[in-house]
Amino acid sequence: MASKKIQLEINRLRDEINLHNTQYYVLDDPQVSDQYYDQLLRKLQTLEKQFPGLITTDSPTQRVGAEASEQFESVEHEVPMLSLDNAFDEAEMQAFNKRLSELLSLEVSLQYCAEPKLDGLAVSLLYEQGQLVRAATRGDGRSGENITTNVRTIKSVPLKLVGDKIPELLEVRGEVYMPLKGFKQLNDRQRQHDNKIFANPRNAAAGSLRQLDPKITASRPLAFCCYSIAQLLGTTLPDSQFDQMQLVKLLGLPISPYIEKLNSIEACSDYYHSMADKRDFLSFEIDGVVFKLNKISQQNKAGFVSRAPRWAIARKFPAQEVMTTLLDVEFQVGRTGALTPVARLEPVEVGGVIVSNATLHNMDEINRKDIRIGDTVIVRRAGDVIPEVVSAVLKDRKAGFNKPEMPGACPVCNSEVIQQEGQAAFRCTGGLVCAAQRKEAIKHFASRKAMDIDGLGDKLVEQLVDLGLIDSIADLYSLTLDQLSSMDRMAEKSAKNLLDALEHSKQTTLPRFIYSLGIREVGEATALALANYFTELTAVESADEETLVQVDDVGPVVAANIVHFFDQAENQHVIQRVIEAGLQWPDIEKVEDIDLPLKGTTYVITGTLENYSRQQAAEILKKLGAKVSSSVSKKTTAVVAGDRPGSKVDKANKLDVTVLDEKAFDELTGNRHV
């Protein structure tokens, strides 16, 4: 057992190392040599090895990565992670400034906060009582992936905040990126071991951050830079963007050394040109400059539009463009079935990278730009952005050059290709059988909210498909013990557990099964609405669009998706095989919406419940007519809170929203647990 003296020495070493990390990564002012720093770290490692019971998650030694996971958990963002609108020239910046001045009814010059736009991956960091408890990707802005274990390996991310005034809760947003020196060193190592060479620092950062094995992330030279506060409890929030960033800097989080306050839109122009001149001499890649209204009160008044704030804009640097020849156009099928035209080009160097392929986006863009095979075309590549064909050089066009045509059948599975009214994309309708969509369809089918097949993670699905053991979801139920146990890293016990999980998944519900099919835009709520309305799968399969749009949560686009999915003979064949394998669900009694006691209410579930998973609690509420949301707002009816609920309860209290414990939830829903 460790003595109090040992504990004090370990605490002293951690505090000193954390202080040096702040001076090095945040203040850019190291006070000790690398050799001295290494000696401190080795001494701490030695003591922790001798007394493993004293190791804590926020120790500076705990950055090497934990065990690899099968997949990332989903994280709901309490405050959405928004995108930014772009400006590409002076006129657009002037228009942005004018809109804000009119919106805020101000005639004086607006003050802005400016910083370079890092070329990396946006992440959210959540600290509770000063400890890093969660890190997540942006995802779709509403929900992202839990990458906490990986982010803990980034040395510039403090595991524990510093200073005298640690907030109860702090959520910051920032960019994970890879400095140019580290990028070069990484590619040199990759080359030496005949591994994949990364095209640019952003791709390297994104690929490193989303590794399922955190030890790989730990070996990559990643860095972090904070650019905003999303949530703060327990201390006063400054009323300016610039001062907020100074606050997080005092807490030990790195911010841009180039951040500045600017007193006019003219000063913004000067700053932009200054950063453009510095661009080639920076130690990291940037692709523009971000300008934000400096006063938070003005930000709040300006508000948001769509998925972006009105009070911020990114002025991008000019893209790099070259000319080359369009040799052919091929169509790639994505994981959602969308067919994307891809330009095959005469190889050409753009910004130091040899480009032979470029996106043409969709057929509407091809027609709008009047691009033909054989044309001389202008190709643009800006930073990490996929190269695109900007336009054709019409003066070089010769007779006989033909326009690309969208195939009527999928080039992968030969299923029908359709274009829905009002949409630019063409899609393959062979969702369950198309090889291009196969892996994603099976992963979705096995996922927790669908068939919940325990042990069937993404890596295993990919291995099963690559080995030719499964071609569709139906093949899962034909797998044998011999097939599974003969696979790499699949012992007989693991193989038997997976077969047991597959057998267990045969007892499901109709809403889960409909959701598991992966019909485009049919989520959990829509699947539940379809099941409750039709009560039988055969009724859903045979419904026409006119009937489908009578269902709550089903509009014309979703109705068309459902009809096209069930019209495909191959999809019907796979469904029939799954049912013949023994998949079944209990009958559903049709209940009219008017009879549902919680119709028109909205609930949020947080924390760990004793008698339910959050998913089970959500399903109970939905069956009673309630909507279940991931975020608390003034429209929330109540928050159901289990053990360790986190910040959602704090927000509910702040908004005077009712908070229910599990007993109150049981009383509300009519469930009884002794």
Q: What is the pLDDT of residues 195-205, one digit of tens each?
A: 777 767 888 88
More confident residue, 521 or 242: 242
Q: Which amino acid is at 280?
A: D
What beta strand segments (E) does 276-352 contain? 286-293, 304-305, 308-309, 312-316, 320-333, 338-350
Let me know if 117 is a catalytic residue.
Answer: yes
- Name the class of domain 435-580: mainly alpha
The total number of residues written for the chain in this structure: 674
Phi, psi angle pair for 354, to nearest 5°? -80, 125
Boundaries of every domain in the chain:
4-54, 85-316, 320-396, 435-580, 596-669
- Compute the distance between CA of residue 122 and CA of residue 452 in angstroms, rounded to an integer: 30
pLDDT at 408 over 90: yes
The Cα diameter of the chain in Å comes to 88
- Give the per-residue pLDDT at 66: 45
- Give the per-residue pLDDT at 375: 94
What token pair was written down for 224?
Answer: 């972090």
More confident residue, 227 or 80: 227
- Compute the distance between CA of residue 382 and CA of residue 124 in angstroms, rounded to an integer: 25
- Give the per-residue pLDDT at 356: 93
- Give the per-residue pLDDT at 63: 58
CATH topology of domain 85-316: D-amino Acid Aminotransferase; Chain A, domain 1 (3.30.470)
Residue 537: pLDDT band with limits 50, 70, 90:
very high
- Give the per-residue pLDDT at 388: 85
| CATH architecture of residue range(s) 320-396 | Beta Barrel (2.40)
pLDDT tens digits for 538-560? 999 999 988 898 887 788 888 98
pLDDT tens digits for 40-75? 877 887 888 788 787 887 787 765 444 444 568 888
According to DSSP, the residues that pair with 76 across neighbouring strands are 143
- DSSP characters for 134-180? EEEE-TTSSEEEB-HHHHTT-TTS-SB--SS---SEEEEEEEEE--H
What token pair was written down for 556?
Answer: 């014309």
- Compute the distance between CA of residue 539 and CA of residue 543 in angstroms, rounded to an integer: 6
Asked if the domains at 320-396 and 435-580 fall in one CATH topology, the answer is: no
Classify domain 596-669 by CATH number. Answer: 3.40.50.10190
CATH of 4-54, one of 1.10.287.610, 3.40.640.10, 1.10.150.120, 1.10.600.10: 1.10.287.610
- Compute the distance between CA of residue 244 and CA of residue 166 in angstroms, rounded to an integer: 14
Stretch 256-278: mean pLDDT:
95
- Give the per-residue pLDDT at 614: 80
Lowest mean pLDDT among 456-460, 464-468, 589-593, 654-658: 589-593
DSSP three-state, residue 436: helix
DSSP run (H or E) holding 229: strand 223-233
Q: Give the 3-state secondary structure percentages of the chain, helix then strand then coil, rounded to 5.
A: 40, 20, 40
- Give the per-residue pLDDT at 68: 45
- Compute the distance between CA of residue 176 and CA of residue 227 in angstroms, rounded to an integer: 11
pLDDT tens digits for 442-471? 989 999 889 999 999 888 988 898 888 998
Q: Cα angle at 649 between 447 and 305, to 5 degrees?
A: 75
- Compute the distance between CA of residue 299 and CA of residue 291 in angstroms, rounded to an integer: 12
Lowest mean pLDDT among 285-294, 444-453, 645-654: 645-654
Lowest mean pLDDT among 155-159, 215-219, 331-335, 346-350: 331-335
Stretch 609-626: mean pLDDT:
83
The percent of residues above 70 in pLDDT, for the chain, comes to 92
Which distant-in-sequence residues (6+ apart) come within 8 Å of 392 by Cβ? 326, 369, 370, 371, 372, 375, 376, 377, 378
- Give the per-residue pLDDT at 179: 93
Q: Which amino acid is at 623?
A: K
Which distant-in-sequence residues (6+ apart) come within 8 Å of 493 by Cβ? none
pLDDT at 667 over 50: yes
- Output the average pLDDT for the chain: 86
Lowest mean pLDDT among 153-162, 169-178, 190-199: 190-199
More confident residue, 245 or 415: 245
pLDDT at 35 over 80: no
pLDDT at 227 over 90: yes
- Give the per-residue pLDDT at 139: 82
| Burial bucket for residue 546 (CB in 10 Å: 0-12, 13-18, 19+) | exposed
- Compute the distance between CA of residue 404 and CA of residue 397 in angstroms, rounded to an integer: 15
Stretch 334-361: mean pLDDT:
85
- Compute the distance between CA of residue 532 and CA of residue 397 in angstroms, rounded to an integer: 58
pLDDT at 307 over 80: no
More confident residue, 130 or 320: 130
- The catalytic position among 43, 117, 590, 634 is 117
pLDDT at 479 over 60: yes
Stretch 592-611: mean pLDDT:
79
Which distant-in-sequence residues (6+ apart) come within 8 Å of 164 by Cβ? none
pLDDT at 422 over 80: no
